[in-house]
A and B are shown apart, each in its own frame.
Chain A
Amino acid sequence: MSRGKSFLSGPVIVIVGFILITGRTLRQGTSLHLGKGSDEYRIEVTTVELSEHSMKKLGLREGDKVRIKSAHGSIKAICRRSNLPSEVAFMSCGYRANLLIGSDTEGTGMPSSKGIMVEITRETEEEDEV
């Protein structure tokens, strides 16, 4: 049945890249007060959430390391399963995600912190800590 023009989220089968959304999480907000050097905070802002479908497709298990690349930078992150549409990846606001965000504000002062096109791949280099 045709749904006409649709803006609602639906299943996406082919993964060519992800749309990265950044936002606040309670864990990021509470661990912030332990200091930005605290393990809790560091782990929370270094974690990327993906859908179960995307994790399977990329051959990932929770806690695995991934490489996230945008037009502006590249970071390592730890992945966590979440109830997201398969084309969406989510990260807590923080210094890690900010490496992926560009500084063009399109004349508004506001960088585009949500809806960043990224590539996510399984990280194979093991040397340095995430």
Chain B
Amino acid sequence: MKFEHVVCPLCGCLCDDLELIVERNEVISTKNACALSRSMFLNLNADLAKPLIEGKETGIEACVDKAIGIISKADYPLVYGLASTESNAQRKAVELAELLGGAIDSTSSICHGPTVLGVQMMGEVTCTLGTIMNQADLVVFWGSNPVDAHPRHLTRYSLTPRGLFTPRGRKGRRMIVVDVRETKSSKLADRFIQLKPGTDFEALSSLRALIKGEKIDIDPELKELAEEMKSCEFGALLFGQGLTMSNGKNMNVNAALALVRDLNQHTKFAILPMRGHYNVTGADMVFTWQTGYPFAIDFSLGYPRYGPGEFSVVDLLSRKEVDVALIIASDPVSSLPAQASSYLSEIDTIVIDPNRSMTSEIARVVIPTARAGISAEGTAYRMDGVPIRLKKVLKSPYPSDYEVLCKIVNGVIDGRSKDS
């Protein structure tokens, strides 16, 4: 059976033009998928999770009941992950964290959390990927390597496509890469500016000074870049974790946001973070519309409090402040600093995930689910904030993340009404 216009639930590009051939509930071929996406679709069954309690296989109902039992007794549980699931599940997870008086955080805190902090401080001049495709004649990738991390970004949105005001496609567009190392993306660029590690803030601030007309004694390459940015018709600064994870973090992002704001006194310029997981933008959106805050939220006082550095996953775990962790569609044992993630094996960790992971290996309870965007429908938000409806193309024997979270929420409420 052929499925058309399938959305790829993998990276923040959320490409919605995939074609899949499905036979006997398995994807046997893909069209328009990049290497990352193809590898995902063709290996969907490679490492599936099983319902486990204390490492022993059991039924999914028993796992959900066990999870309800553990979580109901928790003093201060953490709900974490959620960037690789759809937005209804994210919404339900917020409800659960509030009900439990716990903390909730998404993988946003370890990818573009500093971007959110920067935007909250500075505001942002932004646009959609469609605007970049239709209007941008200059794209600057800063601390970002789309060829490896977002393989179709250049061909679908930012470099080669022809748009309304960009009829010449690649020929009418300049690409600049600023990074600390040569990458596959820098090799495609018309200009590559290689910075010393940890000097993004200084370089961005110097560009601001140059754009304001200050005479500063600086690398000629930066002077030329400033001129090029000022003189384009429509520019886009697309930045990655090279800014958010390096020395300076949110201050680097502040400097980039301020640079783009300043550039708008000369031309049109927009800035956009290159978000990684396919629905990490959705996590920020859903958390914000539910609580007022995008990540690192605490409900222990009965109302939401915001605290990056305090209620964010790495800080809560490394300070050993939570007693139960509910991990949804994420693998913190693999993706967090070991100093933080090692605590997960000391406490009751519950994993809700379609796939086996390093976290499911140490978890007390593993609840397998239908993978959102493949075996369950839902909505995800593209890196530019555009919501896109995900399709269901395969059947799964397991419920969706949303359904499992509904059962847990109902189980906790039922347990409390029985106790009272």
Point out residues on A near B: beta carbons under 8 Å: 2-9, 19, 21-26, 29-38, 72-73, 82-85, 87-88, 90, 93-95, 98-99, 101-103, 105-115
Contact = CB atoms under 8 A, between A and B. Distances in A.
Contacts of A102: 337, 339
B195 interface: yes
B309 A108 contact: yes
A75 B222 CA distance: 37
- Which residue among B114, B197, B357 has the maximum number of chain A CB atoms within 10 Å of its CB? B197
Main secondary structure of the interface of A (DSSP, over half): loop
Contact of A4 (B149, B196, B219, B314): B219
Nearest to A30: B39
Contacts of A103: 314-315, 317-318, 337, 339-340
Contact of B148 (A21, A29, A113): A29
B336 interface: yes
Interface of B: 35-36, 38-40, 42-44, 46-47, 105, 109-110, 113-114, 117, 145, 147-149, 151, 180-182, 184, 193-199, 202-203, 206, 216-222, 241-242, 244-247, 249-250, 276, 295-296, 308-310, 312-315, 317-318, 331, 333-341, 356-358
A110 B337 contact: no
B65 to A, nearest CB: 28
Given A107-B308, A109-B110, A110-B109, A29 B338 contact: no
B194 A85 contact: yes
B336 A98 contact: yes
B309 A109 contact: yes
Contact of A35 (B47, B113, B317): B47
Given A6-B219, A98-B336, A115 B247 contact: yes
Contacts of B314: 103, 105, 109-111
Contacts of A72: 337-339
A34 B47 CA distance: 7
B341 A98 contact: yes
B217 A4 contact: yes
A47 to B, nearest CB: 14
B219 to A, nearest CB: 5
